[in-house]
Amino acid sequence: MKRNATRARGALVAMLLAFSPASLMAADSPADVLRRANEACDRGALRECIEIHESFVDAGGQHPDVSFNRGLAYLARVRKGDAKPGDLGRAAAAFEETLMLRPDDLPAQQALDLIRGQVAKRAARNGGDVEVSVGPPPARALAELVSETTWAVIALVGALVLTVSLIVRRSAHGATQLAGNIGSAIGLALTVIMGGMTWLASHERHAAGAGVVIAPEARLLDDKGAPLGVPALPEAARVDVLDRKGATLRVRWGQREGNVPLQQVRVLRAPG
């Protein structure tokens, strides 16, 4: 009787777990997504293939290989001649996500370059602006010279040098004290400068999100919805997402800043 009661409790717990909101909302595993999506793509069902990838993202999943394949699925539709407006942008967004999750994914970077090249060619054919990528703002460019962790490590080394030098210089005389003084100066400089760069890198990372234009072009608008009169942002351009107000996003691309409708930019989710 005791055994039956235990079994019943176990079954009840299993049932509750199976139908818990978490399980209902959880994404399929990346391996399952790749298998099902590849099978649909092999069949020629490109729309279904894309939807399987997008469902993984909608459920909160993140994996560089799934993002990479999602980009290829959109490109497959373009190559088939069945492209919908914005497919190149959506493919670019997928490859940008791949690089955010795995920065050294070379095929993703190559695909991104190919897409932006195609966008530039299209713009040139239509007599438009061929600029498809711009450099980051100076502060971000400086902060991204090395990774944030690298700045932090150098800053810690500087702090260590400063600490040791301060100790040496207190209790030493002559040449040793001179060495302590020099070490203190170097350590202080490293701590202050590299600590500042660490803070700058963190600030830049938090100040703006990332997005990719998924419309053939995105016109920048002012706060009242009127066009700003600057060249439109090209498809597949990576933009900084500064703010969201209702159905519009405040974005920055190089020196250009303005509002765009929400549906024209795909906001990239930060890793983690």
Partner 1 sequence: MNLKHRWLARSLAMAVSTLPVMFASTHSDRFELGETALAQPAQQPQIAFRLDNEDVEAGEAAQVSLTVMWAQGTAPATDPKLTTPRGLSVSGPILTSKQHTSWVNGQVSSRTGFTATWRIPTSKEGAIDVGPAQVTWNGQKLTTNSLRIAVHAPGTRPKAFDPFGGLFPRFGSLDDDLPRPAEREAPVDPKFSLSEPLEPTAFLRPMLNKTQAVVGELVILSVYLYTQPSRAQMADPHEPSAPDFFQRSISSARDAGPRRVSINGTSWNVELIRRVAFFPLKPGHLSIGPMSVTLLGRGFRGTGVQGGLVRSSAPVTVDVTEPPAAGRPQGYVLGDVGEYSLSASVEPRTVNAGGSISVTAVLRGQGNIPSSLRTPEQKGVTWLEPEVREAIEAHDEEVSGSRTFTYVVKLEQPGSVDLGELALPYWSATRQKYEVAKVKLGKVDVTGVAPAPVASAAPDPFAALPPMRVSASAYTPAKAPLGEKPWFWGLLLGGPLLVLAFDAATRASKLIRERSSQNKETPAAIAMTSLDEAQARLKSNDARSAIGMLERAVFSAVEARTGVKLRGLLRTEMKPAMKKAGIDDDLANEIERMLERTDGWRFQSTDGPSLDDVKSTRDLVARIGKVRR
Phi, psi for 182 (deg, rounded to 5) = -65, -45
Q: What amino acid occupies position 194? A: M
- Under the criterion CB under 8 A, does residue 159 sit at the interface with partner 1? yes
CB of 9 or CB of 35, closer to partner 1: 35
Running DSSP on this structure, what letter comes out for residue 262? Answer: G
Give the CA radius of gyration of the chain.
26
| 261 forms part of the interface with partner 1 (CB under 8 A) | no
- How far apart are the C-alpha atoms of 208 and 220, rounded to whole Å? 17
How many of the chain's residues bind partner 1 (CB under 8 A)?
70
Q: What is the DSSP string of 151-216?
A: HHHHHHHHHHHHHHHHHHHHH--HHHHHHHHHHHHHHHHHHHHHHHHHHHHHHHHHH-EEEEE-SS
CB closer to partner 1, 25 vs 142: 25
Q: From the list 57, 68, 253, 258, which residue makes contact with partner 1 (rule: CB under 8 A)?
A: 68
Closest CB to partner 1 among 8 and 270?
A: 270
Binding to partner 1 by residue 242, rule CB under 8 A?
no
- Binding flag, residue 196, partner 1 (CB under 8 A): no
Q: Residue from 13, 14, 58, 223 that binds partner 1 (CB under 8 A)?
A: 58
Site string for partner 1, 201-240 (x = CB under 8 A): xx--x-----------------------------------
- Residues 108 and 48: their CA atoms lie apart, in Å, by 22
Does 130 participate in binding partner 1 (rule CB under 8 A)?
A: no
Look up tokens 């994914």; give the residue.
105
DSSP for 117-138, written as a single string: HHHHHHHHHTT-------PPPH
How far, in Å, CA of 67 to CA of 242, rounded?
24
Residues contributing to the site for partner 1 (CB under 8 A): 21, 24-25, 29-31, 33-35, 37-38, 41, 43-48, 51-52, 55, 58, 62-66, 68-69, 72-73, 75, 78-79, 101-102, 107, 110-111, 114, 117-118, 147-149, 151-153, 155-156, 159-160, 162-163, 166-167, 170, 187-188, 191, 195, 198-199, 201-202, 205, 246-247, 271-272
